[in-house]
Amino acid sequence: MARDLADPIRFDGRVVVVTGAGRGLGRAYAHLFARLGARVLVHDAGVSRDGTGGDPGVAAAVAAEIAAAGGTAAVCTADLCDRAGCEAVVAVAVAELGGVDVLVHNAGLVAFAGIEDQDAETVERVVAVQAVAPFWLCRAVWPRFRRQGYGRIVLTVSGVAFTVDRALVDVSPYALGKAAQFGLMNSLAVEGEPHGIRVNAISPVAATRMYRGETDEGELAPELVAPAVAFLASEACDRSGLVVRAADGRLSAGAYRSGPEVDLGRVLVAPEAVRDVLPTLLGA
């Protein structure tokens, strides 16, 4: 495949906020943005996989790595479980790096248990970070994006929330949050269009601490997802409402689409009528 690098994607002069950037995917994103010239806010509360605990050194270590490589980074360790924490992320970016041009919401939590065994406190943390925090983060950057006539938002979704084929039996709060971000993406894609704001989503598959499968060395590396995120976050991406799935160097893209339509008429029909047209609706 020919690669045209005559018009390279760069982030010189841009400030990029990456949540959950202390490990795994977020760390890979932060490093790539920095190499491409961005000033990067490395956000990470340093919590465990289910949101407990906290280690500020996790974010600081990545920022130090970026600085050692000649890049520019600032650190934020705010808890994303409430509105104040989300607003603090944006405030730190503005105060320390001079603004915000890109928001990548990568932070996420997961608790592996069936729906009856999910602990209430853990569910609230997972849903707060996966479903509510994206709203408050986007709301915090929105006035600035609108005033400057430019902004890029990349949310994070997952196939486990969209298809039965990829669904898992023990991650319902996680799936709830990922599906919520899909809805938020679609809504803000429309709202942001007149203001030069583009909102898209990444559906990553990578061997991070949330991944439970077996992998060989180098397989499903987080770094293989980062280029897709960088594109969606760049000026080169002038579309909204895209979901790009990135897994081990393989890319696919999609959006919600309706299937074939059957007109049953503006009359009250029996449920059996729906049953009988279902194969047509499903394209069978």
Block means of pLDDT (10 residues each) for the chain, 284 residues, are: 70 98 96 98 92 91 98 97 97 98 96 94 95 98 98 95 89 95 98 98 81 69 95 97 94 86 95 96 86
* Structure-block tokens of residue 155: 């949310």
| Whole-number pLDDT of residue 50 | 78
| Whole-number pLDDT of residue 4 | 55
Please identify which residue in the block is written with the tokens 């009988």: 276
Helices of type H across 116-234: 120-127, 133-148, 172-192, 226-232
| Whole-number pLDDT of residue 166 | 87
Measured in Å, how far apart are the chain's first and last C-alpha atoms? 35
Give dist(CA 54, CA 22) in Å, integer.
Answer: 12
Residues known to be catalytic:
174
The answer for residues whose C-beta is within 8 angstroms of residue 142's C-beta and 6 or more apart is 151, 197
pTM (predicted TM-score): 0.93
Beta strands per DSSP E along 240-281: 243-247, 250-254
| Whole-number pLDDT of residue 257 | 81
Taken in order of first residue, the domains within the chain and their CATH numbers are: 15-258 (3.40.50.720)
Q: Which residues pair with 140 in a beta bridge?
A: none
The answer for residues whose C-beta is within 8 angstroms of residue 112's C-beta and 6 or more apart is 170, 171, 212
| Whole-number pLDDT of residue 93 | 98
| Whole-number pLDDT of residue 1 | 41
Give dist(CA 267, CA 240) in Å, integer.
Answer: 38
- Length of the chain equals 284
Give dist(CA 134, CA 183) in Å, integer.
Answer: 11
